Amino acid sequence: MTGPYFDLTGKVAMVTGGSRGLGYQMVRAFAEHGADIIVAGLIEASYAKFGKVDILVNNAGSGPRMASHDVTESLFDSVLNLNFKGPFRLASQVAKRMADGAGGSIINISSSGSLVPLPMVVPYGSAKAALNAMSLSLAHEYAPKVRVNTICPGPFLTDISRAWPEEMRQSADNAMRRPGLPHEIITAALYLASPSSSFTTGSLLRVDGSSA
């Protein structure tokens, strides 16, 4: 995957949740293609050190699996804060700075749970659906210098999958009939982060084996 199409030399990439799972795969790929990496969401510290952020990946997110009637108000708020409010605050602040500067690319990591009706994770799926809508709105608000896109992953065999039953690790309810391998997120992220996607904004790229 080397070559001119995904060249990130001289770019600064901020990736939340970049120390594990799919975030870690993206961090490694960006670094291998020349980017300096910030694995955090501390805006002022990042600009103080690097002077800019060219690529923002809102990757941090999670939600417990439980019956909807057992979700407390505090748990509901925490799931929405992590999966929607936090990404909104970070994306909007960075987008403004990008628009005032040389531009940039923002990638919001959603979930197939935002597109298909999944029981037991309603606050999580709903927050990710809001994230999808947010991406499209920000794409229009901060264009043309800032591109905002969404990657919608399905089940992946990251560290979190170690707790899954073996059947879930071997098969999935999608067209590919299996979970994704962690490295299979890389090309989608590189495409949206790099100048190769210069005419792509407001898009939602499914990397989910085509979930129903």
Q: How far is CA 128 from CA 43, 62, 81, 110, in A?
A: 23, 10, 11, 5
pLDDT the model gives residue 160: 74
CATH class label, 4-207: alpha beta
- 142: annotated active-site residue: no
Backbone angles phi, psi at 48, to 5 degrees: -65, -35
- pLDDT in the model for residue 162: 75
Domain assignments of the chain as residue spans, ordered by start: 4-207
| pLDDT at res. 69 | 98
**Among residues 5, 24, 47, 124, which one is catalytic?**
124
Chain length of the chain:
212
Summarize pLDDT for 9-40 with one digit per residue, the tens: 999 999 999 999 999 999 999 999 999 999 98
Q: What is the pLDDT of residues 73-131, one digit of tens each?
A: 999 999 999 999 999 999 999 999 999 999 999 999 999 999 998 899 999 999 999 99
Task: Give the pLDDT score at 58.
Answer: 98
Q: What is the mean pLDDT of residues 158-170?
A: 78
